[in-house]
């Protein structure tokens, strides 16, 4: 991860930093864009990247989530719906998965026979830290979650302290 301290958010150039400021009154100020193929999370303020973090996912198959239990991370546009400190993974930011679009995609896949008729869509997808003292999983790009996005504990604390419920999260391949 690249860090630049003393970042001026008025700068025009694209830069990366973890020095972004929270604004509880404007959840649309930042957009989180997660690229599964790059194992990277970028925080945008408008068109400018203000922070970049390394992340990992559910499993090495970086395809879209199909069913509950497949350990895949869903793709699409979500919002942070709930935030809390977490006893295992430091911080947890729940995403509003499944959305109406996810349910429609799921039902279409069922109708086409791509997934079993008795399959469930799953839920409880979020952004969180690692087990204590296991940040190395992020450095090694070890995909270990059940479908969530995981980041180093210092990074998840930084993110947690700078975003609010309602912040948009885009997950793509």
Local confidence pLDDT in tens for the 173 residues of the chain: 333 233 333 322 233 344 555 554 455 689 999 999 999 999 999 899 999 999 999 989 999 999 999 999 999 999 999 999 999 999 999 999 999 999 999 999 999 999 999 999 999 999 999 999 999 999 999 999 999 999 999 999 999 999 999 999 999 99
Which of 157, 97, 143 has its CA nearest to residue 122? 97
Q: Any idea which residue has 């390394």 for tokens?
A: 54
**Predicted model pTM:** 0.84
SS3 105: helix
Residue 46, token pair as written in the block = 């408008």
Residue 109's alpha-carbon distances to 13, 16, 65, 116, 126, in angstroms, are 42, 38, 11, 9, 23
């Amino acid at each position: 991860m690249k860090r630049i301290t003393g970042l001026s958010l008025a700068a025009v150039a694209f830069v990366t930093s973890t020095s972004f400021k929270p604004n509880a009154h404007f959840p649309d100020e930042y957009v989180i864009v997660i690229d599964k193929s790059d194992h990277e999370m970028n925080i945008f303020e408008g068109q400018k990247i203000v922070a970049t973090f390394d992340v990992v996912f559910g499993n090495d198959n970086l395809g879209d989530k199909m069913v509950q239990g497949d350990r895949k991370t869903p793709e699409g546009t979500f919002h942070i719906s709930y935030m809390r400190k977490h006893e295992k993974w430091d911080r947890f930011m729940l995403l509003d998965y499944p959305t109406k679009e996810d349910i429609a995609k799921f039902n279409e896949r069922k109708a086409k026979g791509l997934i079993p008729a008795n399959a469930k869509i799953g839920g409880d997808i979020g952004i969180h830290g690692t087990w204590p003292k296991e940040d190395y999983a992020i450095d090694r790009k070890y995909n270990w979650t059940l479908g969530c996005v995981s980041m180093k504990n210092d990074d998840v604390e930084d993110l947690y302290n700078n975003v609010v419920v309602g912040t948009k999260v885009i997950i793509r391949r």
